[in-house]
């Protein structure tokens, strides 16, 4: 469904109670009819139902083995109704009811019999919450439980069950409501089974590992970059071992500096082993301690302490890798020894790597200095060229105009591939340069496919492939790469925020909410960007939730959000929208992509201004311009011939892209 048509849908926030009778299909027809009649009478006698119907604020929808009740008067109404119905069912006829409750967007529709019905995410999620339970359960979504927890009365009855895997593998957080009289205090059978499956997975999937950053124990405490670099080199080597699944760097390194138990780390990353260690450097000598731990029982499988001169660091990395592989009883494929490298160049490279993973302009520019130093000492150091390409890629658009940054991305990636054509990450960055500088989507596709072929377990290969295919309207390709990325890098803030956006583009709101909530759990402040969960809230009509989230991040980052301006425009708060837009432009610094500004103009129904900014984005080669075709914010422009012409100029097929978007 396009944004343009959403304005006619009349979305409201409904408080949905979904219930069904467990084992209903196994009953005789007479028994089914009797239970239906009893349940209908119980519902009609509910005080909450009567009050809502009298106020014209209730829709009842039969579902065969149960029904959905959609209240529009109070978020407490379905909860109190559930207690009434559960008590009556228990007292009179022991009807095996299970109930799920969620508050979310719904819209009234007419079904094939011209009867009133409801549709929308509010109903869908309520049903999925209910599906998690057994007979007697009253289960609430996280949102409903959070609303209730604001009142002291409800708190003793709310029992968090954690995250369930629902339809399409989407995670939903569920809370069990029960009192001494009603509800079911037992763990739902689905949760018990999930725990058993997790235990089984932990015992069978023994060949998985996370490599944590090595702690810096040096007297000067100035070797943080070296500890990170050692861990990353070992991680990279282990990722090439057949039969061993290695958690991605961003996910593993997210735990740096955090007080987390190994069992928690292993659970979040879905691994059974954790490698941790430390570095202590004094001049040219280094002491490295490494320990491989079984996360299931906490016992050490292998540990060793090494003392070496710096010139022996490469051999030491290989030795540690081989020891881990031996301890896990795997086979390490024999690969040709790497070309001899300067240890001084390598140290500069590690410092460049350390700073390139930070998001500030100063850190990214500092990383460039270290990569360039490494190349001065070792001109054949291909990974230093790849590091330069990476740094310029992340500088582009955020801090530097794309026509300044992307030629440097292209040159550095090309130089890296001249030395080592097997560098998957360099192929990714060359693909991005072809996409942005030349609008060469076929050439970019070749580079992305080559990157995945070389390293199918790489986050960059899958991340950028997902974005690329989404922009082209290749829905299934994009979702395949997106889900693969999320599996490889489950604790990455960037991956989860990105997943929230792509799922939103495709109208998969349940999946988008799950990914967006994970992103906020990883970093509630979201210091380096806009929380894309807020954009999803806006599209769902949850304007107050969107504003609160945008404001929260603005208070920390000091940057106004374009998304907040769009939200105000959607609410017809036009003056606030314009003021927020100007503030967002001012806080972006010297460069703001035209398509970012165009988002707001479309929401303000200033289509000519939007087209003008999109044309500027085209002339300046904005890296995000390819996504305006599939983004729901631009749906009102889809009939505009100027918009269609622009999409074709950058290599897109408008009809194909629009067909992939809801």
Domain ranges of the chain: 3-196, 205-338, 347-486, 491-590
The values of phi and psi at residue 391, to 5°, are: -65, -45
pLDDT, position 201: 52
What does the pLDDT look like over 391-403, one tens digit per residue? 999 999 788 999 9
- DSSP reduced 3-state for 606: coil
d(CA 379, CA 597): 42
CA distances from 564 to 164, 375, 424, 567 (A): 31, 43, 37, 5
The DSSP secondary-structure symbol of 249 reads H
Name the CA dihedral angle for 467, 472, 475, 478, rounded to a multiple of 10 degrees.
Answer: -30
CATH number of 491-590: 1.25.40.10
Q: At what angle do helices 343-356 and 313-327 cross, to 10 degrees?
A: 60
Structural domain 3-196, CATH architecture: 2-Layer Sandwich (3.30)
Q: How is residue 417 written in tokens?
A: 């591939």
d(CA 560, CA 18): 39
Cβ(65)–Cβ(101) under 8 Å?
no
CA distances from 4 to 12, 501, 562, 611 (A): 17, 19, 20, 17
- Looking only at the bridges linking them, the beta strands covering 208-211 and 215-216 are unpaired
- DSSP reduced 3-state for 27: coil
Cβ(408)–Cβ(385) under 8 Å?
no
- DSSP reduced 3-state for 158: strand
Q: How is residue 21 written in tokens?
A: 């009778």
Matching CATH number, 205-338, of 2.60.40.2130, 3.40.50.300, 1.10.3720.10, 3.40.50.10070: 3.40.50.10070
Residue 217, strand partner residues: none
CA distances from 585 to 326, 336, 581, 591, 615 (A): 55, 51, 6, 8, 17
What does the pLDDT look like over 617-659, one tens digit per residue? 999 999 999 999 999 999 999 999 999 999 999 999 999 999 9
Name the CA dihedral angle for 199, 200, 203, 208, rounded to a multiple of 10 degrees.
Answer: -90
Shared fold status for 347-486 and 491-590: yes
Characterize 457-474 residue by residue with b for buried, 16 or more Cβ atoms within 10 angstroms of its Cβ, and e for exposed. bbbbbbbbbbbbbbbbbb
Report residues of the chain scoring pLDDT below 50. Answer: 1-9, 168, 202-204, 334-337
Cβ(294)–Cβ(232) under 8 Å?
no
Q: 156: Cβ–Cβ under 8 A, 6 or more apart, which residues?
A: none
| Topology given in CATH for the domain delimited by 347-486 | 1.25.40
pLDDT, position 205: 52
- DSSP reduced 3-state for 416: helix
- For residue 31, with 0-12 CB atoms within 10 Å meaning exposed, 13-18 middle and 19 or more buried, which class applies? exposed
Q: How is residue 67 written in tokens?
A: 């029904």
Cβ(328)–Cβ(320) under 8 Å?
no
Half-sphere exposure of 316 (CA within 13 A, CB side): 20
d(CA 284, CA 468): 45
Q: How is residue 239 written in tokens?
A: 């990722």
């Amino acid at each position: 469904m396009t944004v343009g048509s959403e304005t006619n849908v009349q979305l409201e926030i409904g408080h949905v109670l979904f219930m069904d009778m467990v084992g209903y299909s196994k009953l005789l027809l007479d028994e089914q009819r009797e239970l239906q009649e009893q349940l209908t009478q119980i519902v009609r006698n509910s005080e909450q139902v009567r009050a809502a119907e009298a106020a014209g604020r209730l829709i009842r929808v039969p579902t065969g083995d149960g029904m959905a009740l959609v209240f529009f008067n109070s978020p407490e109404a379905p909860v109190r109704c559930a207690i009434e119905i559960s008590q009556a069912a228990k007292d009179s006829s022991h009807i095996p009811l299970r109930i799920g409750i969620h508050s979310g967007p719904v819209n009234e529709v007419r079904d094939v019999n011209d009867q009133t019905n409801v549709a929308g995410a509010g109903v869908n999620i309520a049903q999925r919450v209910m599906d998690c339970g057994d007979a007697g359960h009253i289960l609430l979504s996280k949102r409903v439980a959070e609303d209730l927890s604001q009142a002291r009365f409800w708190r003793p009855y709310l029992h968090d069950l954690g995250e369930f895997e629902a339809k399409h593998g989407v995670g939903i957080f569920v809370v069990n409501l029960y009192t001494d009289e009603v509800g079911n205090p037992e763990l739902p059978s689905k949760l018990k089974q999930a725990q058993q499956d997790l235990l089984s997975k932990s015992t069978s999937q023994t060949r998985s590992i996370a490599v944590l950053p090595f702690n810096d124990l040096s007297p000067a405490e100035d070797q943080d970059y070296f500890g990170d670099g050692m861990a990353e080199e070992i991680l990279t080597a282990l990722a090439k071992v057949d039969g061993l699944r290695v958690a991605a760097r961003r996910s593993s390194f997210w735990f740096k500096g955090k007080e987390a138990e190994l069992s928690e780390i292993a659970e979040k990353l879905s691994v059974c082993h954790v490698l941790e260690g430390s570095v202590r450097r004094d001049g040219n000598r280094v002491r490295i301690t490494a320990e491989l731990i079984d996360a299931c029982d906490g016992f050490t499988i292998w540990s060793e302490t090494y003392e070496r001169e710096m010139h022996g660091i490469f051999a030491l990395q290989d030795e540690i890798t081989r020891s881990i592989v031996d301890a896990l009883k795997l086979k390490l494929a024999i690969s040709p020894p790497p070309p001899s490298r300067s240890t001084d160049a390598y140290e500069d490279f590690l410092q460049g790597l350390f700073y390139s993973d930070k998001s500030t302009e100063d850190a990214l520019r500092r990383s460039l200095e270290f990569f360039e130093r490494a190349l001065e000492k070792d001109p054949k150091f291909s990974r230093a060229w790849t590091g330069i390409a990476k740094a310029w890629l992340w500088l582009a658009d955020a801090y530097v105009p794309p026509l300044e940054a992307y030629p440097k991305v292209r040159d550095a990636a090309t130089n890296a591939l001249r030395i080592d054509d097997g560098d998957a990450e360099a192929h990714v960055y060359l693909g991005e340069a072809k996409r942005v500088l030349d609008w060469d989507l076929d050439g970019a596709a070749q580079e992305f496919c080559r990157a995945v072929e070389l390293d199918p377990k790489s986050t960059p290969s899958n991340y950028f492939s997902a974005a690329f295919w989404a922009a082209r309207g290749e829905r299934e390709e994009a979702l395949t790469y997106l889900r693969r990325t999320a599996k490889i890098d489950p604790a990455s803030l960037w991956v989860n925020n990105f997943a929230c956006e792509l799922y939103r583009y495709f109208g998969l709101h349940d999946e988008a909410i799950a990914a967006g909530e994970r992103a906020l759990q990883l970093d509630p402040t979201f210091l380096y960007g806009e929380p894309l969960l807020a954009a999803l809230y806006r599209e769902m009509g949850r304007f107050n939730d969107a504003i609160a989230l945008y404001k929260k991040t603005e208070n920390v980052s000091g940057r106004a959000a374009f998304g907040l301006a769009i939200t105000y425009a959607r609410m017809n708060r036009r003056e606030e929208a314009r003021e927020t837009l100007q503030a967002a432009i001012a806080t972006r610094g010297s460069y703001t992509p035209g398509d970012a500004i165009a988002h707001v103009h479309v929401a303000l129904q200033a289509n000519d201004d939007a087209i003008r900014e999109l044309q500027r984005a085209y002339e300046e080669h904005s890296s995000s311009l390819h996504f305006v075709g599939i983004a729901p914010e631009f749906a009102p422009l889809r009939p505009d011939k100027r918009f269609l012409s622009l999409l074709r100029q950058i290599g897109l097929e408008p009809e194909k892209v629009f067909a992939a978007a809801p």
